Structure 1
Amino acid sequence: MGKQAGSSFLEHIRPRRIKLGALQLRATFCLGGFSFLAFIVLTITGVILLFYYQPGDKAFASLSEIDSALPYGGLIRSLHFWSGQMMVISVFLHMIRVVWSKAYRSLSEFNWITGVILLGLTVILDYSGYLLRGGQESGAASSVGQTLLKALPGGKGWAAIFFGQSSPVNGSTLDIFVWHVFILAGIAGFLQMYHFWRIRKDGGVRPL
């Protein structure tokens, strides 16, 4: 039996056929693609910042050094920050568009769940990125997050795993750094690839 069209990733990148309605702007408003573009910018700028950022007690000082000593360091930080905010907004609007157009029905129920998980990951990534800034603001945000997490069943253990030994004056820790840079970002990247592949495999987006 021959391989079905859309069953491989290469055919997803350049499919043989696509629904005519899926080519219309109002079918997606390009929100999914814009979210992925923001993720790419976050990845590139994040890799650059990795060479100079130091988590923990030196977090705030290292960011100040990036702004003042690294050529275009302030620009790179700004791109990283605003791309994160735009990704949160675009993913949220994308979810609204999916609900509005009822695109989660039929063959897309599991992909809808994947999208919900991606929305949660995006928010957590944005939150953990704020903690990595260091300083009293991130310390206060860390304290609030730990209090909320500990209120859940088994949350005390998860708070210790995720936040590490954070303090009210500094929310940046090595634990948060590892979660933000490697674990959460890696899972988000993988789920986005699966999400795009599944959309194309199910026949493209559903037009409004």
Structure 2
Amino acid sequence: MGKHEDSFAGHIRPRQIRAGALRLRATFCLGGFSFLAFIVLTITGMLLLFYYQPGDSAFASLSELDSALPYGGLIRSLHFWAGQLMVITVFLHMVRVVWSRAYRPIRELNWITGVVLFGLTVMLDYSGYLLRGGQESGAAATVGQALITSLPGGKALATVFFGQPTPLNGSTLSMFVWHVFILAGAAGFLQMFHFWRVRRGGGVRPL
């Protein structure tokens, strides 16, 4: 009986190890895809930075960008879809971490930075959408302002975020500062810190 149990355990354990290794690989692949998406965002964003004009002429500058910048339309599309990919991969990465219960000590700091990074990624996408200017961005700004002002001290927060009490085209100047410098810089720092923590042994391990 004892030999049979030992033989059965011997067959099960390698299977569990392989399953754990696959879970670990999937989790790291999702994190790697999000980092790759951020690199694409950074490169394409720096190219767009030279041609974009925040303010009342934001919408017109995007139209001129397609002809002024070689492959401008392609670069804009890459920037847009890389942002969508980053949101999706970071979210799926978090789902994998929850599924593997890898948010527990000693990896709780990685979990916290991941949650904050996801919030920054969503804000990056939102602020980037507002940079387009025009009616659609104005409507999105109105909805965002309504949500923010519903919070305690929301009017002051809306003024800080949008740059003015009412979301007009002029708010793209404030969005430009948030999107290009504050949010992108914070997201890049957290990405590198998260990666450093994983390299130091604070990443996901197969359970």
TM-score class, shorter-chain normalisation, is: 0.7 to 0.9
> 1:134-169 CA distances to partner (integer Å, 9 max, x unpaired)?
110000000110110011011111110111138666
Q: Within the alignment, does 1:163 sit opposite 2:162 as a pair?
A: yes
Task: Please state if 1:200 is matched with 2:199.
Answer: yes
Q: What is the CA–CA distance in structure 2 between the aligned matches of 1:37 and 1:157, rounded to whole Å?
A: 36
Q: What's the counterpart of residue 178 of structure 1?
A: 177
In structure 1, the partner of 2:23 is 26
AA aligned opposite 2:149? K
In the superposition, the TM-score normalised over structure 1's length comes to 0.84
1:103 to 2:102 alignment: yes
Cα separation, 1, equivalents of 2:165 and 2:85: 27
Q: What is the root-mean-square deviation of aligned Cα atoms in Å?
A: 2.1
- In the other structure, the counterpart of 1:9 is none
Which residue does the alignment assign to 2:149? 150
Question: Which runs of 5 or more structure 2 residues have no equivalent in the other structure?
Answer: 1-16
Match of 2:187 in 1: 188
Once the two structures are superposed, the pairs formed by residues 1-208 of structure 1 within 5 Å of their partners are 24-29=21-26, 30-165=29-164, 170=169, 172-202=171-201, 204-207=203-206
1:204 and 1:150, CA in 2 relative to 1: closer, same or farther beyond 3 A?
A: closer
CA distance in 2 between counterparts of 1:142 and 1:203 reads 38
Give distance in 1, aligned partners of 2:202 and 2:131: 40
Deviations 1:49-98, CA, capped at 9 Å, x for gaps? 01000011111100001123321000110000000000010011000000
Identity of aligned residues (%): 77
CA positional deviation for 1:173? 1.8
Larger helix share, 1 or 2:
2
Cα pair 1:139 1:167 within 8 Å, conserved: no
Q: Which portions of structure 1, spanning 4 or more consecutive aligned residues, are displaced by more than 2 angstroms? A: 23-26, 165-172, 202-205
Aligned equivalents of 2:114, 2:157: Cα separation in 1 = 23
Contact 1:59 1:133 in 2 (8 A): yes
Shift of 1:129: 0.3
- Larger-Rg structure: 2
* Equivalent pairs, count: 189
Quick one: distance in 1 between partners of 2:66 and 2:149? Answer: 35
Indicate how the Cα distance of structure 1 residues 42 and 171 shifts in structure 2: closer, same or farther if over 3 A, else same: farther
- Write the letter of the residue equivalent to 1:205: V
How far did 1:201 drift?
1.4
Please say if residues 138 and 169 of structure 1, whose CA atoms lie closer than 8 Å, have aligned partners that are also in contact.
Answer: no
Using structure 2 for the length normalisation, give the TM-score. 0.85
**Distance change in 2, residues 1:136/1:168 (3 Å):** farther
Q: Which runs of 5+ in 1 are unaligned?
A: 1-19
The Cα offsets for residues 107-139 of structure 1, whole Å up to 9 and x where unpaired, read as 011211111000000000000000001110000
Shift of 1:202: 2.6
